[in-house]
Amino acid sequence: MTDALDVALTDVTRRYVESNPGSARLARAAAEVMPGGNTRSVLHTEPFGLRIAGAEGAVLTTVDGHRLVDLLGDYSAGLLGRPTEVADAVRAVLDRGWGYGAMSEPETTFAGALVERFTSVEQVRFTNSGTEADLMAVLTARHVTGRDRVVVFEGGYHGGPMTFLPGSAPLRVPFDFAILPYNDTAAVEAEFSRHGEQIACVLVEPMLGAGGCIPASDGFLSALRSLTRTHGALLVMDEVMTSRLAVGGAQEVYDVRADLTVLGKYFGGGLSFGAFGGSHEVMAAFDPTRGGLTHGGTFNNNAFTMAAGTAVLALLDADTLAGLNVRGDRLRYRLSRALAPVGFCVTGLGSMMTIHPRPGPVARWSDVAGVDHRWRRLLFHELLAQGYYIAERGYLALSLAVTDADLDAFVEAAAAFADEYADLTAEATVGGP
């Protein structure tokens, strides 16, 4: 049965199709050579994904000439925006040549800068993505401990092969997983009580990312630290997203030190990047002078990322990150107030947040599992029509290029959305189709 929400969504979708004929044409061509017309599923939106022609600062320009304020920041990979320092580093590589098939000095400089930032990391290895780094970290933990079982959490995202959201199981690596509710210390204690001698590691995001920007509750991460240490397991913190919360990442914020730390996204300055690291003792598993494991990857130390990464780290000092966190916290508060008429809440930490079409509080993924996704699509398309780009799931990740004026206007657009649809309460449609 068609209801008022269906009518609103049909109308906004019609306007999207009419105003983006170039994207529609390119989407049809892409569908001929790529399933669904894409090779990164999260970028697909109905009825077709947007196509970008160029970007400068915090502005994206579509193939149809629309200028959009980029509030998504490439799903947190675009923390810096598009600074000249990174472009200059890339141009310098072009000038001196690339594709060495050998080692060069910049990778040591980059690795040293990462080790200096994270007190739990004494040595690091590079990969091509956070996905690879997460897999390598878990495999390392299984090797070092001689155990197989991996504790993870509902709503967790550690790259495609280790995603714990609906529909993700067919592409999940076949490890022995214990999938527990996030922020549920009692459930983790019970798991260790039953299977403590089998558990190789606990893999955790200090804030669920794709699962809805749900921060770890007070004491949850410290409880994981205590349990893993007591039972001889390793604590693996996926800081691919949360490393932006401080120079030392969420581990600095929560005062918890991991055995293995996973990094990715923005450290590459927009280029492919991933890394994992830990103590000398744990990372010795890869030392060839000690009969270490073989870790391959043609582009692990590619010249572009190594040079860009060093440039990125020079720009991200404590004051810069703290300032962006303050702006993000203020935006989250203002959005919550602006969207109150439709019963939405906003969760997150610092410069990362997710808008949920339901009232708060939200402490675990199951709290938002039953929301009506039509609200998410409606918000996405209405904001896009006003010139603001976020993820369809309601996720935002601010970059340093976004201005206060951009954020003020964005809050006004969100408030206008809430006023227009206030008579369709989000609370009433939780659990809808």
One DSSP character per residue, 219-247 reads THHHHHHHHHHHHT-EEEEE-TTGGGGST
Q: Whose structure tokens read 């003020």?
A: 408
Catalytic residue among 70, 238, 259, 372: 238
Which SS3 state, helix, strand or coil, does residue 274 take? Answer: strand
Give, in degrees to the nearest 5, the angle at Cα 398 between 397 and 400.
145
Distance CA 414, CA 42 (A): 22
Q: Are 6 and 371 in contact (CB under 8 A)?
A: no
Question: How many angstroms separate the CA atoms of 185 and 31, rounded?
Answer: 45
DSSP symbol at 189: H
How far from the centroid of its chain's Cα atoms is residue 202's Cα?
Answer: 19
* Catalytic residue check, 265: yes
64-96: burial string, b at 16+ Cβ within 10 Å, e else: bebebbbbbbebbbbbbbbbeebeebbeebeee
> Which listed residue (16, 259, 265, 389) is catalytic?
265
Q: Is 238 a catalytic residue?
A: yes
Angstrom distance (rounded) from CA 164 to CA 179: 8
Q: Which of 47, 50, 87 is nearest to 65 (CA)?
A: 50
Q: How far is CA 313 from the centre of its chain?
A: 19
Q: How far apart are alpha carbons 404 and 382 in whole angstroms?
A: 21
Nearest to 19 by CA among 57, 44, 58, 51: 51
- Please report the sign of the dihedral spanned by the C-alpha atoms of residue 342, residue 348, residue 353, residue 356: negative
In order, the DSSP letters of 61-85 are EETTS-EEEE-STGGGTTTT-S-HH
Among 157, 266, 395, 421, the one annotated catalytic: 157
Residue 311 φ then ψ, to 5°: -65, -40
Rounded to whole angstroms, the Cα distance separating 187 from 180 reads: 7
Name the pairing type of β-strands 260-264 and 234-238.
Answer: parallel
User: From CA 22, how far away is CA 371, in angstroms rounded?
Assistant: 32
Task: Identify the CA nearest to 214 among candidates 396, 345, 366, 364.
Answer: 364
- 8 A C-beta contact, residue 160 and residue 39: no
73 and 60 Cβ atoms separated by less than 8 Å: no
Which residues are part of the catalytic machinery?
157, 238, 265
